[in-house]
Amino acid sequence: MSQYKLIFTGPTGAGKTTAIATLSEIPVVKTEAKSSYRNPRHEHKETITVGLDYGLVKLKNNDKIHLYGTPGQERFDFMWEILTEGGLGLILLIDNTRVAPLEDLQFFLKAFDDFIKETSVAIGVTRMDLNHKPALADYHRELRTLGINPPIFDVDARSKKDVSLLLQALLYSLDPNLKVER
């Protein structure tokens, strides 16, 4: 039995906790605190992750994928290095309704650059149904200017199909021969 560790990151409100809960076969461990951050587009967001989120996916061959979510706020960046230790890869979620989602993309790719160079990254853009700009083509252009070409998808963090596709794309980018059967 093998054990793997995958990291979910992105800005506050991008859907990290939701995506982990969507995939996890156990109740998600959350370290939430009341949010002082108020974004009119996320009025429903009353708490933020301050430590980590944790979930687990069990595969048919008894392998386990441990899912860790980072806090989204930069003031908790000390947790980012702790959580990525021993990680297999990174899933970056970007909220398309934020003021500057392409800047968020640049920021998180730079913040996790060393980890990404050692592993791999897959990117999910959330809330594209609420804000169509920037489009996925804009993200692709931005990634090309950064010299990388990771898998990138429009995802709904509440959709098991969407988040599973993102997870499988990350695993495929790590090892094209890897089969994930749940």
**Is there a domain that residue 163 lies in?**
yes
Domain containing residue 92: CATH number: 3.40.50.300
What φ, ψ does residue 38 adopt, rounded to 5°? -125, 115
Helix, strand, coil in percent for the chain, rounding step 5: 35, 25, 40
How many independent structural domains does the chain possess? 1
**Is there a domain that residue 107 lies in?**
yes
Q: What's the CA dihedral at 10, 11, 14, 15 to 10 degrees?
A: 60
Q: Work out the widest C-alpha separation in the chain, in whole angstroms.
A: 46
**Is there a domain that residue 71 lies in?**
yes
| 70-117 per-position pLDDT tens digit | 876 766 666 678 777 889 999 999 999 999 999 999 999 999 999 999
Distance (Å, rounded) from C-alpha 126 to C-alpha 96? 6
**Is there a domain that residue 182 lies in?**
no
Q: Is the pLDDT of residue 43 over 70?
A: no
What φ, ψ does residue 40 adopt, rounded to 5°? -55, -30
Per-residue pLDDT band for 31 (boundaries 50, 70, 90) equals: low
Residue span of the structural domain in which 91 resides: 3-174
**Is there a domain that residue 8 lies in?**
yes
> What pTM value is reported for the model?
0.86
**Is there a domain that residue 181 lies in?**
no
